[in-house]
Amino acid sequence: MPVLQLPKDVVAVQSGDKAYLFYLNSERKLTYLVSPNADGDGDYIQRRIDDENGDDIVVNDKSTQIAAIGWDEPNGVFQIRVYYVAPKGNLSEVCWTSTDPRRWYQGSLGLKNKAPHYIADGSPISATAYKRNINGQSRWSLRVFASGKDHFNDRDNPVISVYMFDYNETGQNKGSWGSEQISNAVNKW
C-alpha cells in the first residue's frame, strides 16, 4: 500500500467556535479540515472547496502556497477568505460566511470581470484582516501579500506587494482590489 504524503503547507484560522485547516490535496485542489467542536479535539472533518458551479478549485502548479484569514463580525457573522494563485497565474479569493455555511463563493479578487493581479511563479502568499475605523464605522481591512509577476526594484530584486480591498472616502467598499509595492528598499532577501 502506498504511503500517503502530508500536505506541504497547512494554513489555519479560527472562525466562530471552529478551527479550519486549509491545504492543497495531491491534485492541487483546495481542501480543508474543520474541527468538530470548540475544544479543537476529536476527528476533524475533511472537505473540498467547490466553486458556485460545484467544480473543484485547482491551484496554479508553479505557485502552490495559499493564505487564509478569518474574523468574527460584531453581529455574530463569521467570515473566512482563502487566497491562492489560479491556474492562469492571477491572485484569487474564495469566500465563506456563516450566513450561508454550505457554500463557498468567488470573492472580488480574481473575478473574471476585474483586472487580474498576476503573481510571480513560486511567490509566497500571506494575508491579514484587521479592524479599522472609517468615519466612525468599523471596517475590516483585507490585505494579501505576494510578489507580483515581473515586479522588481531598481536593483533587480523581486519585490513584495500588498493587495488591498479598496474603500472610498466615505468607507463604502469599491468592490475592487488595489496594489502597492512595499519592499522596494530591500537590497537582499
What is the per-residue DSSP string for 70-95? EEE-TTS-EEEEEEEE-TTSBEEEEE
Q: Is the pLDDT of residue 170 over 60?
A: no
Q: What pLDDT does 72 receive?
A: 87
Which grid cell is 34? Answer: 474543520
Q: Mean pLDDT, the chain, as a whole number?
A: 89
C-alpha to C-alpha distance for 161 and 184, rounded to whole angstroms: 9
Output the pTM of the full model: 0.91
% of the chain with per-residue pLDDT over 70 = 94
Which whole-number Å values give the CA distances from 185 to 41, 119, 148, 176, in the listed order?
Answer: 44, 20, 16, 27
Q: Is the pLDDT of residue 166 over 70?
A: no
Q: What pLDDT does 169 receive?
A: 55
Q: What pLDDT does 167 receive?
A: 63
C-alpha to C-alpha distance for 100 and 116, rounded to whole angstroms: 27
C-alpha to C-alpha distance for 1 and 5, rounded to whole angstroms: 13
